[in-house]
A and B are shown apart, each in its own frame.
Chain A
């Protein structure tokens, strides 16, 4: 059974810092990995989708890497802003017909102005 762990559980940093969120998964036979953002009382917003054949994806100030063999992914946020404050969730997909995602518990991020 796939298990996804996110470290740290919570993080508070001053505005402008670069930061790294970590995600690990137990079964390396994944189809893809996604990073989501969740704001309080809201649904999930997809940030980056990495296919199993890819090593990284970039969108603006966000960069996500994937190392399938070691079961790890990192989300790098450059020049953090208060608007980046949210919970960040990592999720892995197993592919095939049943491609539901397995999520970690998330990292609660606070960027101090």
Chain B
């Protein structure tokens, strides 16, 4: 089966600019997650979708981050405006459901200068 697709692979922007990341989960996976992984740290959950509804966004910095999952398939994560501390790898993952295990994409490496 095809894996979780993410684009772009790399992005460099200046602080205060905006950026968007795209994720296409495995076909049939109802649950989609976005994680932020800062260098030297483990991934941190930003937001979880079940179909096109938000299940958990408690750790999403809502003043600058937003995410949507239209039609319960693809998802986009946006940062506006970006800060230096947003430099990280943004990982998308999908799952068939609770306890079914995750599949991660290769991530988007964001550098804010």
Q: Which residues from chain A sit less than 8 Å from chain B, CB to CB?
A: 4, 31-32, 34, 36, 41-46, 49, 51, 89, 91, 93, 95-106
Contact = CB atoms under 8 A, between A and B. Distances in A.
B88 to A, nearest CB: 13
A101 B102 contact: yes
Nearest to B98: A99
A41 B105 CA distance: 11
Interface string B42-82: 11110010100001100000000000000000000000000
A93 B104 CA distance: 15
A31 to B, nearest CB: 6
Interface residues of B, number: 26
A7 B40 CA distance: 14
Contacts of B110: none
A93 B99 contact: yes
Contacts of B56: 97-98, 100
A95 B99 contact: yes
B21 interface: no
